[in-house]
Amino acid sequence: MGSKRQTIRALYKDGVLRPLEPLDLPDESKVELTVDPEGVVKRFEALLRSVQDRNRGIPTEEIERDIELAIKEVREEGQAPRK
């Protein structure tokens, strides 16, 4: 039985996801899926690499702090009453 994490492509049709390549799993295995229809994860990882490349020399702690502050700001805006 394959126990390693696998990233695969699949086709969704008639309510069923069908892998486009064979899986190294026994029949009736239960798995956890993350659906990424537009390749969002790959685009995010590429964006993150780009940001890291442009910010070499800035301490990681400073970048992490700025990200946390931005997340907090977005969350607070989401909770504010809309005008």
Domain membership flag for residue 75: yes
pLDDT of residue 2: 52
Q: 55 CB contacts (<8 Å, ≥6 apart)?
A: 63
Examine residue 2 and state whether it is found in any structural domain, yes or no. no
Q: Please give the pLDDT value at position 42.
A: 81
pLDDT at 83 over 60: no
Do 55 and 63 meet the contact criterion of CB atoms below 8 Å apart? yes
Q: Is 26 part of any domain?
A: no
Evaluate whether residue 35 is within a structural domain: no
Q: Does a structural domain hold residue 15?
A: no
Q: Is 82's pLDDT higher than 90?
A: no
Nearest Cα residue to 35 out of 65, 71, 11, 57: 11
Q: How high is the pLDDT of residue 15?
A: 94
Is 66 a member of any domain?
yes
Flag whether 72 is in a domain.
Answer: yes
Range of the domain at 64: 40-79
pLDDT in tens, 21-80: 998 889 999 999 888 877 777 888 888 888 888 888 888 888 888 888 888 888 887 775
- What local confidence, expressed as pLDDT, does residue 80 receive? 59
User: How many domains does the structure of the chain reveal?
Assistant: 1
Tell me if 59 is assigned to some domain.
yes
